[in-house]
Every structure is written in C-alpha cells, then in structure tokens.
Amino acid sequence: LMEKLAERDVWGLSIKGEVAFDWSKVIGRSRDVAGKLNKGVEYLLKKNKIEYIVGSAKITAPRKGDGPQATPCQIAIHDCKVTEERTDAPAEPAAKPRETITATNVLVATGSVARDLPFARFDNDRIWGAREAMFNKDQPKSLIVIGAGAIGMEFGYFYMNYGTKVTVVELLDRVLPVEDHDVSKELEKIYKKSGMDFRLGFTATSVEKTKSGVKVTIAPFKDGKADDAKKETLEADRVLLAIGVKGRFDGLFDPSLGLETVKDHIKTDYQPGKTTSEAIDYKTNLNGIYAVGDVIGPPWLAHVAMEEAITCVERLAWRKDPKAHHEPIPIDYSVIPGCTYCNPQVASVGFTEQALIAKGLKKGTDYEVGKYPFQSHGKAIASLHQKGFVKIIRGLPRGEILGAHIIGDQATELIAEMTLARRLEATSEELIVTMHAHPTMHEAVHEAALGSEGRMIHM
C-alpha cells in the first residue's frame, strides 16, 4: 500500500498533505489478523469435536507394545506462561504437572525457533529474532539484517518500505541463495534501487550493544573462514538475526527416553530425496511417537507441515482399519512450491538451472529455458507491475517441466499452475495449448512456456 501511494501521480490521484502512518496501528493490524486466524483454528477444533488443552506438554513414556494390550503414551501437562513477543523465551512451564493424559499415538508438530549466534543472543531489545521484528512497538531508524534468505528479505523489505534504513549481510554471494541465480540477481537489483544496502559474501564476527543501538563487525568470508584483515563495522538501532531455524522441542521429551535427533531436529523415517513411491510414516525411534513439519527439518514451510500432518494421520487411520480408510498418496518432495512474501514476490518449484548444471546437464542438449519479462506484458504494464519475469526450464527431448521460477507481482499465486504442471508431469507443449485468459498475469506463464520452445510471441 505504501508503494501504491508513492505511485499516486501515475494513477491521476492527489493527496493533500504528507502521507503518514501510525506504527502502533501497523503492527497492531498484523497481530489482529494473526489473532483472527488463531480463533478460526479454535472454531474448527470445536466444530469437529476435537478437545484441545492449553498448557505445556512433556512426553514421559512412549507406547509399550501394540494392539489392545498396549500401554499408551504418557504426557504430563504443565501450566505455562507464554511470552509470544520473545524469540529467546517463548514459554515457561510450571515445575509440577497439573495432569497426565494418555494416547495411543502422539503427533509432534511444535514447529521451529530462530537460531541466534554465540556472540549475539536474542535479548528482546536490540538483538532481534523474527518475533521481535513482528511485535516491536518502536520503529527503528536503521536495521541490520544478518541473513538474506526468505525471512531476512521479507522483513528487510517491510522495514525499508516504512522508511527504516536497511543493510543486509549475507554469508553467500547472493540474496535468496536457494533460488535460481537469475531471480536472486533481479531482486538484489530492484532493492538496491530502492535504497537497501547489501554486504554479500560477508559474515558477522561480533555484535556489540551500544548506548543507543548495536555495532556489528563483519568480514569477507573466504575459504570457509572470515578474513579479519578486511573487517568493517556497521552500526544501527537494531540487528535482526535471520540465519535459519532449529526444531522446537526443548523440554518436550523426558531425557531418559533417548529421542533420536539430527542437526537440532527430531529424526523420523523421512529422509530427503524420497519419492512418491516411498511411503513415510513420520515415526520417531520412540514407539507411538510421530513428528511432522519444521520440527523434523527442511524445507521449513507451513504448507509442507500441513500436508505431512494430514498424511501422517491418514496413514495411522489406514493402518488401524484398512477397510474403512484408504492408504494416502505419499508426498512428492520434488514438487514443493517455495514462496517469499516480499515485493516483488518470489516463487519457485522444481530445479534451478544451477542445480541442473551441477548434475551435468547442458542447455540445448538436456534442457531449454524460456524467460519472459513482465515489462513486456500487457496486464503488468497496465497495473504498474513490470518488475521481474517468469522463467521455465523444460527437459529435452520430451519437454517436461524441470523447474519454474517467478519474480514479480502475484508470483506466489502464479506458481500454483507450474506446481500442478510438474506434479502431473505436463509438458511445455501442454501448457502452450492450454488457453490462458486475457488480460491476466497468468499469460506470462504461457509466454515463458512458448519461449522455452523458441516460439515466444509478445517479445
């Protein structure tokens, strides 16, 4: 909205006086929306007669045995003080449990918590995690963001648009490192023009709190270590750590149970690289205990967590009574849309071009690329959304969709078509012969598909 107001002259609009905002209302609306969504979930639980208990849980015993004679899992419930504004201490359970409940199966879906640094611990003041960035009551004049992944770029964009001076520090040589290189370069170019500063290929080596803010020392990162001879110091009101997450399960399991973990996440039978032909139960090494979502590791996406939970529960129901329930189709982890909610939006599915090259594939022999810029697109021109492009990678010789990468307006909506195409093993030709309404942003997908076959019309 702030960007649209800045474009008011183009639309023939005039506003008397200065465009201003109330920071407390900006943050307040965000929290109000989150609150409404939470209440919506509570309503659905009640509607479906699902009991929910407010408190902190500790699993004290797994299920012993199977079948009717099995001893169920034991879960102690503690009263709990929750401080949702803080990344470092979101919950403080009481020492003694108020009750113990039992269950044949337990599904852990406790999510993740932001990682901090040994020399920079979250303090709910000047050293932020994502929660402080969402809840803070005073807008900083300057902000250093450490990490240029999705979280770092989303918050960096948000604060920049409200007038905060933003500097992004990233260990690797580009923003959004998991995205296609073309997308990373485009977003960096756009944000540099908007005033965002970048220190790419740098690592933070220290964070010092000052009287009014923070000092962050950074150094070039080469050969796996910091080059301290070329270090420099940045200063800002606040620093946001956006360097990744870890599973949130501290205190959830009695230490004597011997829960197996891997890289700060709960270990299950899910392993990266499994395909649709391989069924996954999401079981841990403890009998009757299952886990899904961020708590078991990447890709740390809400829509993945939801699908994993549905699949896990449906498999439990199917195993209990195969006649009453069907066996669910396993998740295909090669067809997961990834979305970054900055502006322009970023979305992708499948392989990046760099991943294909790393596999030994060659352009022109093993794959082709179609890349259509929104600056040539009618709907984008009319709506002032000319930044970005659609990039489609098709395999040779069949024409299957190997990957799709979009940066631009509505990218997080447009990616659904490409996700479905990849799931159904559609070809670029099938995308081309599918009629796309005019004028729509979806026509850009059609043009990129044409481009992958050297048949682009509107450019």
**Amino acid at position 284, single letter:** T
Say if residues 289 and 312 touch (Cβ distance below 8 Å).
Answer: no
Which distant-in-sequence residues (6+ apart) come within 8 Å of 283 by Cβ? Answer: 268, 269, 289, 290
Nearest in space to 388 (alpha carbons), one of 403, 401, 405, 404: 405
Find the Cα–Cα–Cα–Cα dihedral 51, 53, 54, 60, rounded to 10°: -150
CA distance 39 to 8: 36
CA distance 443 to 437: 7
Omega before 299 within 30 of 0, i.e. cis: yes
Instruction: Determine whether 377 is an active site residue.
Output: no
Say if residues 346 and 411 touch (Cβ distance below 8 Å).
Answer: yes
Say if residues 422 and 338 touch (Cβ distance below 8 Å).
Answer: no
Give CA 132 to chain center in angstroms.
18
The β-bridge relationship of strands 142-146 and 165-170 is: parallel
Nearest in space to 335 (alpha carbons), one of 393, 430, 419: 419
Which of 265, 325, 436, 438 is catalytic? The answer is 438
Cβ count within 10 A of residue 266: 27
Helix axes 181-193, 150-161, angle to 10 degrees: 20
Instruction: Indicate which residues carry an active-site annotation.
Output: 438
